[in-house]
Amino acid sequence: MNYPLVDSARQNRILAGIPLSDYTRMAEHLKPVDWVSGQVVYEPGDAMDFVYFPTSCTASLVSNTQDGDSSELAMIGRDGMVGVSLALGSVSMNQRVMVQCSGQAYRMPTHVFVEELTRCNALQQLALCYVQVLITQMSQSIVCTGHHSVIERLCYWLLTNQDALASDQLRVTHEMISNMLGVRRESVTQALGKLQSAGHVASGRGKIAILDRGGLASGVCECFSLVSETTRRLFEQVERMGARPAVWSSADGFAPLEDGHGARLQKYQDAYDFAPVGFVSLDAQGQVVQTNLAGAIMLDIQRSQSHAKPFQDFIALSDQPRFADFLQEVLSGKCRRHCELTLRGTDHRAEITVRIDATLDDEGEECQLVLIDVTQEKREAAQKLAAKVKSGGGFDLNDFLAQIQQMKQMGGLSSLMDKLPSQLTAKAGAMDMDKVEKDIARKQGIIHSMTPKERSKPELIKATRKRRIAAGAGVQVHDVNRMLKEFEQMQDMMKKMQGGGLMKMMKRMGAMKGMMGGGGFPGMPR
């Protein structure tokens, strides 16, 4: 399946492997975006609005500790894509996705990608192949971190990025590399100094040039050749297979159709069974059909005893009505939905908060749930925001984004209207909820296109940065300006909450009178 590159998007291996007839249809939905080193594309738990196909940049799947330390799990370049877990039924990101080396990628709306998975056999097979590539990278990274030196791991990282970018020039900082390797910046600087003295690389401000690939290869650990060879073998295998169709089976995982019989692909079954998130399948009555190991642990039940149990019984009483409505919406509409609910406490654990992503199978008979435990994440986020407001530490765009994401995870603005007092609900009824929801999603996309530094220091965002952010989010500069203006309003409100200012503000507002009618909430369109 080797096809000529008809445009820059086909520099991505997955897009290049798609037959031209299918690619021409998909190309209408592909848009270029510029990524900047250090930019966060997705946070854990984020709904994936777009999938991304890197062409001249690289990104990392990053794991973060409670202390703020980070480590790279896998690297994504032009051989792969961001959002491939959609092929396994997940609709949210499980790790942070951070840009390593600046460059360009192409984005496709998630709903288009999911539709094309069912239409294009080549895309389906390539996506599943890349799932296996990522599993290989993640498993090998554990070995590499524990057994190999900083300089060996640095050589591995440089060579991997060189192959992914097809370039000898890497636009990346020492700080970024240290975050990816999970070591001190000083250790990276020392290792780069040794490689530079040997004539293998030239390191400048924000750039690293690879001068002698053979020299780097002589000092790299065996992990590099193992991952490279596995990636080559898997892609060649898919190309030889010639895009046989694959279907989802709730009992067996992904399996190819061969002569009318579904033969299990054990590697994808293992990926399902041992995934770090919970997978639970429900029938049309909301009863558990099956669950993977992580799902059984979250529900605190043995897998052999989970069958035919109503999933609603595992949910806290206060959230059961909302889940019933949520499940009915998914089953009746054959659509993907997400919400955030509390699982009841058991004899072995306290209540936990889970994000639930739900989708319906092709037959419309089973609902597949993806469960992500966000209990600790929510607790830490709430404590962090409370501490910032109390101390006057400043309300930045990261906090603004967190509030937007929290509202989306609770079911969006429409679901929150039911919780408002009746007098406010009446005023909210005049609002165009669909328009408001789209505006909120637009704000989220704008913030995702910013660098971490820009999020923490919005005052840095001037004309040039606004144009880059607008291009990355697929909006106009005036949309960026409006979002920043509304953020400033929210920031002013947070400042007034410090030191008892909240009560004074409430009195001036007449106990929230006119909050909906007098211009709306900060951050909502007027």
Q: Which of 316, 349, 520 is nearest to 435 (CA)?
A: 520
Q: Where in the chain is the domain with CATH 1.10.260.30?
A: 377-508
Tell me the pLDDT of the chain averaged across its residues: 75
Decide if pLDDT at 247 tops 50.
Answer: no
- Confidence band of 51 (pLDDT split at 50, 70, 90): very high
| Type of residue numbered 365 | E
Residues in the chain, overall count: 526
Average pLDDT (369-393) is 69
**What's the confidence (pLDDT) of residue 108?**
94
pLDDT tens, residue by residue, 260-280: 333 434 445 555 555 667 888
Name the 3-class secondary structure at 494: helix
Q: Which amino acid is at 47?
A: A
pLDDT tier for residue 161 given thresholds of 50, 70 and 90? confident
pLDDT of 385 reads: 63
What are the tokens at 322?
């909302």
Residue pLDDT, tens place only, 101-158:
888 999 999 999 988 988 888 898 888 888 888 888 887 777 777 778 888 888 988 8
Highest mean pLDDT among 77-81, 359-363, 472-476, 508-512: 77-81
Percent of the chain with pLDDT over 70: 71
Q: What DSSP designation does 318 have? A: G
pLDDT band, residue 514 (cuts 50/70/90): very low
Residue 4 confidence class, pLDDT cut points 50, 70, 90: very low
| Residue 241: per-residue pLDDT | 56
CB 322 within 8 A of CB 366: no
Report the alpha-carbon distance of residue 109 to residue 52 in Å, rounded.
9
Q: What is the pLDDT of residue 245?
A: 35
**Of the given ranges (192-196, 339-343, 381-385), which has the lowest mean pLDDT?**
381-385
Written out in words, the top-level CATH class of the domain with range 1-148 is mainly beta
For the chain, residues classed under CATH 2.60.120.10 are 1-148
Pairing of strands 337-343, 352-360: antiparallel
Question: Is the domain defined by 276-373 classed in CATH 3.30.70.340?
Answer: no
Candidates 193, 171, 191, 194; CA nearest to 183 is: 191
For the stretch 292-340, pLDDT in tens is 877 888 888 877 666 778 999 999 998 898 898 888 888 887 566 778 8
What pLDDT, on a 0 to 100 scale, did the predictor assign at position 109? 92
| Residue bearing the bigger pLDDT, 89 or 43 | 43
What ranges in 86-184 are assigned the alpha helix state H? 110-119, 121-147, 150-165, 174-181
Stretch(es) of the chain classified as CATH 3.30.450.20: 276-373
Predicted pLDDT at 31:
92
Q: Report the C-alpha gap between 279 and 132 in whole angstroms.
A: 18
Q: Which residue has the tokens 């590159």?
A: 5
Superfamily of domain 377-508: Signal recognition particle, SRP54 subunit, M-domain (1.10.260.30)
Q: Are 300 and 349 in contact (CB under 8 A)?
A: yes
- First-to-final CA distance of the chain: 51
- pLDDT, tens digit, 9 for 90 and up, residues 386-408: 666 555 556 777 777 776 666 55
Q: Which residues contact 460 (CB under 8 A, 6 or more apart)?
A: 453, 454
- Mean pLDDT, range 84-88, rounded to an integer: 85
Q: What is the pLDDT of residues 410-454, one digit of tens each?
A: 444 444 444 444 444 444 444 555 676 677 778 878 887 888 788
- Across 80-122, the runs of DSSP E, i.e. the strands, are 96-101, 103-109
